Amino acid sequence: MKNWLALSLLAAIAIISSCSTAEVGRYSRETTFGVISSINPNNRVLFQILTDNDGMFDVVSYGTPSHGVYVGERVYFDYEVWDDNTRNTKVKVRGFHSIISKPLDILSQSDEDILGSDPIRCSASFGGNYININYEYITLGGNDHAISLVYDDTTPDDGYADLYLRHNGGGEKGTPASGTSVIGVASFPISELIPNDDYKVEIRLHWTWWDSATGDLKEESATATFIPFVDSRII
């Protein structure tokens, strides 16, 4: 897409060294998404994370204890592999990134005033049962902002599940010229959209941003096929 937002939110530092069985823990630092699946499953593992595409991680070291974890929590985190010669990969979690994670809103059950209609743009990828969204909106710095991902259940079925990224700017009406850009990451579960007799669903993602040529607000959209636990970027 012409206005596709390229956000470098998944940077990793390459520090790969040669290692033997006795020299575990010398792998590159990476970033990924997952869900906390258990706490203290045994005396050697602090907690477990079911990652979107890399299986189960056993966390043996935790660099940010101020972030308390709970079962079912959606997380976006930095880690280093400590030992991958076991059934579950053992990792050191170096830190958690801020992430918005909440259920889809359903259009027919939602209040339009709460959802808002302020500009927001995004790029997105699938992982696990989720759609992960890198977003950007403009703030004037005075009010709280909220974002939602809304499933439109009010239009006739044309083979696509239409998802709208909505932004409520709390009354602010900033523009790229007058305000400050805010970027972030959000993650929404979407496996419930898969029909009972299928293993996939066609997603059409919508958002609204300023047209670079005219300066007017313009709705953009992109489509992709969602299959749970198959990584795929929406383009």
Query: How many angstroms separate the CA atoms of 173 and 156, rounded?
Result: 33
Architecture of the domain whose range is 100-233: Sandwich (2.60)
Closest listed residue to residue 233, CA positions, set 120, 100, 127: 127
Query: How many angstroms separate the CA atoms of 172 and 168, rounded?
Result: 9
- CATH 2.60.40.2370 segments of the chain: 100-233
Q: What is the largest CA-CA distance in the chain?
A: 61
Rg (alpha carbons) of the chain, rounded to whole number: 20
Closest listed residue to residue 169, CA positions, set 149, 150, 141: 141
Identify the CATH class of 29-96: mainly beta
- CATH 2.40.50.500 segments of the chain: 29-96
The secondary structure element, H or E, covering residue 183 is: strand 180-189
pLDDT in tens, the chain (235 residues): 433 333 332 222 222 222 222 234 445 679 999 999 999 998 889 999 999 988 999 999 988 766 788 999 999 999 999 988 888 999 999 999 999 999 999 999 999 999 999 999 999 999 999 999 999 999 999 899 999 999 999 999 999 999 999 999 999 999 999 999 999 999 999 999 999 999 999 999 999 999 999 999 999 999 999 999 887 777 6
